[in-house]
Amino acid sequence: MNYETLVPVMRRLAIEAGEKIMQIYNSDDFDVKVKSDDSPVTEADEAADAIISAGLRAEFPDVMLVTEEQSESHTAKGDTFLIVDPLDGTKEFIHRRGDFTVNIAFVENGVPQRGIVYAPAKNRMFFTQADGQSVEETGDFALDTIGALSPINVADSDNTALMVVASKSHRDQATDDYINKYNVKDSKSAGSSLKFCLVATGEADIYPRVGRTMEWDTAAGHAVLLGAGGNVVRFDDHSPLTYGKEDFANPFFIAYAPTVELKEA
């Protein structure tokens, strides 16, 4: 994969999808359906998926594509592929809370190497550049003109006063029990893959996820965090979280700055 070609395409498609999502988000009403796994899906999910999938297939026809909204793609096999969650945080979208993102990533040999996380309602965009460094872009997010870029890096964490970020919609007692093993200065909640980005920018030190996620939920944020110097490991044995698993389902995991002294599960 030529990253110099890939990154601008991912960025452009994320912006196009975000524009469509915001049109629907700002409308008076929108349809909400329930998928076979009881998770919600909206016309924004489907419209954004159509934009991104068509764009990626046109540009990279020979690369395996996995996307949340196309169940037939979930039987694909391989450890090198493009992976998409066109609207991560659908519950946040439905309740008009703003914490939703467009996620596009490229996984190579089981590792998310490049990714983009775009939060159109928050006006925040994070992506890995072709050279692997993660950046936050600010500006108007024009399709063909990149705005001001700021390299992002994880915090040099103080283990006596950690900042924790956890899920807004899925926080539970098991999560709190694990967080309580650390010396926590403060905690915040966020929806969707923004939690990875808060660790990547140093706004948080650690994000533990004790709950179900799929690879399309995490790949883009994982790539951004890796490009900012962070890590993502399995909750049970602290081995690296890998991609291309049998059903694209993740184990529990921890995303963190490397200076955090991880506790056992």
Annotated binding site for Mg(2+): which residue ranges? 68, 85, 87-88, 217
Would you tell me how many other CB atoms lie within 10 Å of the CB of residue 142? 10
Give me the residues paired with residue 186 across strands: 163
Question: What is the distance between the alpha carbons of residues 69 and 66, in angstroms, rounded to a whole number?
Answer: 9
- Residues annotated in a binding site: 68, 85, 87-90, 217
Q: Taking a C-beta distance cutoff of 8 angstroms, is the pair 214, 248 a contact?
A: yes
Question: What is the distance between the alpha carbons of residues 107 and 46, in angstroms, rounded to a whole number?
Answer: 23
Beta strand pairing status for 184-190 and 206-209?
unpaired
- Residues annotated in a binding site for substrate: 68, 87-90, 217
Question: What is the distance between the alpha carbons of residues 155 and 144, in angstroms, rounded to a whole number?
Answer: 31
Residue 10 tokens, joined: 């991912």
Closest by CA to 223, choosing from 107, 99, 123, is 107
Strand, helix or coil for residue 83:
strand
Helix (H) or strand (E) holding 213: strand 213-214
Q: What's phi and psi for 257, nearest 5 deg?
A: -80, 140
Angle at 245 between CA 87 and CA 169, to 5 degrees: 35
